[in-house]
């Protein structure tokens, strides 16, 4: 490994004072920070399996080189486990210079952030939650791992609210991110990453404006559940319906009970599940105010019955299984304009 290369900055060894100083200087996020000593940073770099000066790419909006050393510094401050460095670096590499369109995500007026969905044995090695409270609330390293990436966005990418980021409202995940696993063992389908061409340890990064619960009553069939999920996704304010949007991927997390005991029971083939969900993710063009219709019509996304489809094809809605066994719930992660999900292997 190469020696540490970044410019040195002396910080207070007391985390309380160091956190206060960081906030005043604009490189803190308001939560306590761990002082990034040279020894700690070197340890994190070593665990990444990469050189300190290796670059993951030029990260927007600053276009600065996102070096492994800079990632390590922010991971230390965030309190992420040292073993998570390969996951963090692989996730950031997937976000930079890719169809995720990090330029837009970091600068937009929307509240979008890149969610990270983890597949493979690394879920358990890093204790990434995928059962109860998988998307937030389970005590695990996931918030610190997500926070490390958010600090990179702040301190390397240069994302500053009201200056380089015009997000009107923001959201809590702009501090701690969204990092969750897929409950592969309780899914009736191949893992999300594997269906997208990457088996084993992998991440799928996806631009979402947040999470929203979808609830239904007991007794619904698989087709009826997909109808509830699809029609919930197709709410009028979804970015996929915005006039200036060319496309906007969507993502849905389905709980294991619905996935196994109802949906897969009634619709054994995953491609049929995907097709049905896509067909239900639409709403009548007549529902939209007149100024909203031309953009949808220009894109040719209106069917013969006058229904406006949210996305162009079933492959644009990404489905994965996670969550507890209480049933009655799915979660939608609505997408962001002109952003596509990206799946990469987790590598050193």
Confidence of residue 1 (pLDDT cuts 50, 70, 90): very low
pLDDT of res. 88: 98
Average pLDDT, the chain: 95
**Tokens coding 48:** 């990444």
Among 81-85, 126-130, 244-248, 269-273, where is mean pLDDT lowest? 244-248
**E strand map for 45-112:** 55-59, 64-67
Q: What mean pLDDT do residues 200-223 have?
A: 94
With CA atoms as reference, report the closest residue to 153 among 91, 228, 201: 91
pLDDT at 4 over 70: no
| Top-confidence residue, 246 or 191 | 191
Identify the top-confidence range among 147-161, 207-221, 234-248.
Answer: 147-161
Report the half-sphere exposure of 167 (CA within 13 A, side-chain side). 20
Percentage of the chain exceeding pLDDT 70? 99
pLDDT of res. 12: 83
Q: pLDDT (tens digit, 9 = 90+) per residue, 279-297? A: 999 999 999 999 989 988 8
Q: What is the CB neighbour count within 10 angstroms for residue 85? A: 25
Q: What mean pLDDT do residues 21-42 have?
A: 95
pTM: 0.96
């Amino acid at each position: 490994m190469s020696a540490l290369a970044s410019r040195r900055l002396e910080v207070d060894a007391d985390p309380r004072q160091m956190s206060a100083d960081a906030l005043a200087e604009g490189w803190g996020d308001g939560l306590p920070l761990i002082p990034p000593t040279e020894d700690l940073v070197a340890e994190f770099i070593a665990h990444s399996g990469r050189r300190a000066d290796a670059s993951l790419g030029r990260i927007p909006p600053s276009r600065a080189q996102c070096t492994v050393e800079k990632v390590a510094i922010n991971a230390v401050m965030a309190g992420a486990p040292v073993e998570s460095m390969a996951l963090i670096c692989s996730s950031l590499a997937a976000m930079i210079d890719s169809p995720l369109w990090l330029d837009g995500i970091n600068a937009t007026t929307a509240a979008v952030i890149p969610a990270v969905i983890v597949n493979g044995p690394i879920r358990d090695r890093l204790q990434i939650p995928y059962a109860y409270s998988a998307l937030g609330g389970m005590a695990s390293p996931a918030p610190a791992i997500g926070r490390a990436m958010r600090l990179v966005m702040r301190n390397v990418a240069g994302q500053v609210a009201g200056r380089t980021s015009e997000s009107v409202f923001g959201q809590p995940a702009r501090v701690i991110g969204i990092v969750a696993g897929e409950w592969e063992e309780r899914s009736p389908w191949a893992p999300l990453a594997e269906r997208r061409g990457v088996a084993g340890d992998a991440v799928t990064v996806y631009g979402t404006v947040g999470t929203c619960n979808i609830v239904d009553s007991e007794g619904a069939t698989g087709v009826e559940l997909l109808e509830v999920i699809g029609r919930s996704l197709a709410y009028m304010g979804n970015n996929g319906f915005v006039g200036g949007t060319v496309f906007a991927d969507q993502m849905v997390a389905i709980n294991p009970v619905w996935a196994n005991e109802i949906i897969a029971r009634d619709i054994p083939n995953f491609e049929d599940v995907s097709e049905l969900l896509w067909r239900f993710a639409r709403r009548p063009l007549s529902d939209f105010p007149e100024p909203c219709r031309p953009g949808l019509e220009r894109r040719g996304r209106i069917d013969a019955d006058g229904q406006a489809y949210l996305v162009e094809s079933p492959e644009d809605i990404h489905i994965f299984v996670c969550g507890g066994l209480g049933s009655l719930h799915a979660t939608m992660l609505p997408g962001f304009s002109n952003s596509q999900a990206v799946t990469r292997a987790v590598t050193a």
